[in-house]
């Protein structure tokens, strides 16, 4: 299967409210349309995770990130520009996404991916895609396809073919919360 075909099938699945398993700029992720409340609920169910714990979303560009927050502070752009590894920012006042994706305080975690497959997937989908690690909550994240449990593989609607043969160390992103008043809190280095 070509990367183009793989992306088309993943997009078709998400447009129908389905959940996908896909390679990202960090670890393998469970994903869905971040604007679809029912699809987001499926992801929480697959992860066996309480929906009070927010999920990360991926987008392809700064312009797309800006569409999902009332205000993106300048420090966010500075942080993303200086980052030496994939970095997720948690920003306040999320808009235009499924309400069960937004934390109780109105914040949302989002990352701009530069990895070719996930970037193209996000670009072609034209919306943020949920990107939570491909594991049941509390278990180790799936660095490579071979690390994904059968429980997760059997629970999703589509498993991407791209990068399945890869055997490289991958680590989760850094996570930084940026508050309304300029507070910066490192959640994960």
52 against 84, higher pLDDT = 84
- pLDDT given at position 169: 83
**Predicted confidence (pLDDT) per residue in 160-169, tens digit:** 999 999 988 8
- pLDDT given at position 168: 85
Domain assignment of residue 66, given as a range: 3-188
**Predicted confidence (pLDDT) per residue in 80-119, tens digit:** 999 999 999 999 999 999 999 999 999 999 999 999 999 9
Count of CB atoms situated within 10 Å of the CB of 154: 9
52: pLDDT confidence band, cut at 50, 70 and 90?
low
pTM of the model: 0.94
Looking at the predicted structure, is the pLDDT value of residue 181 above 80?
no
Question: What's the structural domain count of the chain?
Answer: 1
Contact 127, 15 (CB under 8 A): no
Q: Which of 2-6, 58-62, 105-109, 179-183 bottoms out in mean pLDDT, i.e. has the lowest? A: 179-183
Residue 67 sits in a domain whose CATH number is 3.90.870.10
Looking at the predicted structure, is the pLDDT value of residue 179 above 90?
no
- pLDDT given at position 108: 96
């Amino acid at each position: 299967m070509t990367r183009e075909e793989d992306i088309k099938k993943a997009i078709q699945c998400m447009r129908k409210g389905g959940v996908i398993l896909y390679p990202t700029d960090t670890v393998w992720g469970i994903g869905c349309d971040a604007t679809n409340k029912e699809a987001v609920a499926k992801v929480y169910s697959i992860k066996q995770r309480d929906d009070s714990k927010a999920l990360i979303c991926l987008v392809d560009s700064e312009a797309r990130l800006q569409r999902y927050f009332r205000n993106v502070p300048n420090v966010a752009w500075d942080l993303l520009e200086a980052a030496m590894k994939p970095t997720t920012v948690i920003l306040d006042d999320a808009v235009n996404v499924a309400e069960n994706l937004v934390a109780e305080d109105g914040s949302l975690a989002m990352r701009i991916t530069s990895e070719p497959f996930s970037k193209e997937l996000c670009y072609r989908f034209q919306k943020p895609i949920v990107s939570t690690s491909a594991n049941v909550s509390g278990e180790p994240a799936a660095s490579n396809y071979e690390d994904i449990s059968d429980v997760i593989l059997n629970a999703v609607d589509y498993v991407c073919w791209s990068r399945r043969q890869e055997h490289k160390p991958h680590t989760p992103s850094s996570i930084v919360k940026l508050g309304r008043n300029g507070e910066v809190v490192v959640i994960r280095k």
